[in-house]
Amino acid sequence: MTPKYLLKRLGQAILTFLVTMTVSFLLYQAMPGGPTEAMRSVILSQSGGSVDIDRLNRMIQLYTNVNPDQPMHVQYFNYASDVILRQDLGTSFFKNEKVTTLIMQRIPWSMFISVYALALGYSLSIFLGVMTAYREKSRFDSTVSSLIIGLNSIPYYIVGVVLIYFLAIQNNYFPTGGRIGSGIAAGYNPEFMLSLVKHAALPAISMGALATSGALAMRGNAIRVLGEDYIRVAQLRGLRETRIATQYLGHNSILPMYTQFMIGIAGVFSSAVIVEEVFAYPGMGLLMFEAVKTQDYPLLMGTLIVFTAISLTAIFIADLTYTLIDPRISVGEE
């Protein structure tokens, strides 16, 4: 572990978070006609009747933490301190609840399918990449490579639609949507667990399809590593094939992919917005979708900030493991 490297990465994550927060503040300001005009109709439709401009601005502040009355820098300062110090992302227009409360309820569900998808997608791309490299130019290689190219040409949400059609509608293997079967009591009972997994499976697979985009790059790396002297020496040393495949070939071909995998985390998490809508899976992504549909700006900005925070945390954790899998990291980064 090199503290310097990790500090640098941590600083970068914090900076990214601040940038996202600032962007969301600026987006409030950049709304057509400014925040007051833009949100007037939405708030009016909520409260009914007409309100004077002061009351409207007060309501906007109540909901969004942005007070249009004040000078810009004061607005920004208040907004930032609410987000950072009080973890207050405002209040939803429509549900009249704190945005943080709403999001917190949804996070576990999104995390569940996202992590599931990442594990599935990444292990599959590593496995297929190594296997196809091992049998380079064989029929297995060309078949799998073509399949991967085909899969990479299908947007993950279409993968989801196709899965629903074949596995949920034509055959009743999986539910078409939702996160839990109706009438099943929550708790540590097998029925509940099974229902949980069954509902999460298809969304996770379609998000996982996104994560397999690294398989071909992995294959390329593995082909390159196969040409390295240490692989030949390992074979001459009479090491077991499984050891060579995992500790030599696998490990060394993952290294150049690591950054790409880490960046991919953000992409897979984001894909939840579309996938959760397709599967009516009530996670954070669906919440964001609902916020768009109802022009619930505080909720919309809140989900953006939380999406960023979660991605950054996940990427940072992945960074911690990078120092474990590549001993040269401290050297390479200097």
Partner 1 sequence: MSEAHSDSFDLKDLYDEDIDPDPESRADRAKRFLEMNVVAPARIAVDDWRALVGGAILAFFLLMGTVGVWLVERPTSGDAPVLAAPFESLAYPLGTDVFGQPIHAQLIHATPGMFKMIFAGAVVSVGFAALVGVVAGFEHGTRIDSFLMTITDVVITIPGLPLIIVITAIFQPENPYIVGVFLGIDNWPGLARTVRSQVLSIREESYVEASEIMGIPLSSILRRDILSQLMPYVMINGALTSRRIIFESVGLYFLGILPFTTFNWGVMMNLAYEGNALTRPDMLPWMVAPMVCIFLLSFGLVLLSQGLDSLFNVRLRARHAKTSKKKGTSKNNQSQATGGD
Partner 2 sequence: MRTSNQNDSDPDQDVVFEVRDLEVTFGTNRGESRVVRNVDFDIYRNETLGMVGESGSGKSMTSSALMNAVVSPGETSGEVTYYPPGGGEPISVLDLDEEELRKFRWGEVAMVFQGAMSSFNPVKKVRGHFKETLEDHNRDVEAGLERAHQILGDLYLDPDRVLDSYPYELSGGMKQRALVALALILEPEVLVMDEPTAALDLLMQRSIVSLLKDLKEEYDLTIIFITHDLPLLTKLADRLVVMYAFDIVEVGSTEELLYDAAHPYTRSLLNATPDLNAPIEEMQSISGSKPDPVTNIPGCSYRPRCPMADESCAEAEPPMADRGNGHRTACFYHDDVADEIPIPAMEAAEEGGEGE
Q: Per-residue x/- marks for partner 2, 11-40, CB under 8 A? A: ------------------------------
| Under rule CB under 8 A, residue 227 binds partner 1 | yes
Residues 250-309 that bind partner 2 (CB under 8 A): 251-252, 255
Binding-site member from 273, 281, 287, 298 for partner 1 (CB under 8 A): 273
**Interatomic CA distance for residues 248 and 223, integer angstroms:** 12
310-329 residues in contact with partner 2 (CB under 8 A) are 325-328
300 binds partner 1 per the rule CB under 8 A: yes
Would you call 114 exposed, middle or buried from its count of C-beta atoms within 10 A (0-12, 13-18, 19+)?
buried
* Cα–Cα distances in angstroms (integers) from residue 140 to residues 76, 131, 136, 213, 260, in the given order: 58, 9, 8, 18, 26
Q: What are phi and psi of 214, to 5 degrees?
A: -85, -5
CA 299, CA 64: separation in Å to the nearest integer? 9
Select from 6-14, 39-47, 113-121, 247-255 the region that touches partner 2 (CB under 8 A): 247-255
Smallest gap from Cβ 122 to partner 2, in A, equals 18
Instruction: Report if residue 224 touches partner 2, rule: CB under 8 A.
Output: no
Does 235 engage in binding with partner 2 (CB under 8 A)? yes
Q: Output the CA torsion sign for 268, 271, 273, 278.
A: negative
CB of 83 to partner 2, least distance (A): 41
* Contacting partner 1 within 302-321 (CB under 8 A): 303-304, 307-308, 311-312, 315
Residue from 154, 167, 184, 245 binding partner 1 (CB under 8 A) = 154
For the chain, the helix, strand and coil percentages under 3-state DSSP, each to the nearest 5: 80, 0, 20
Calculate the alpha carbon distances from 206 to 129, 154, 158, 162 in Å: 19, 10, 8, 9
Binding site for partner 2 (CB under 8 A): 228-230, 232-240, 243, 247-248, 251-252, 255, 325-328, 331
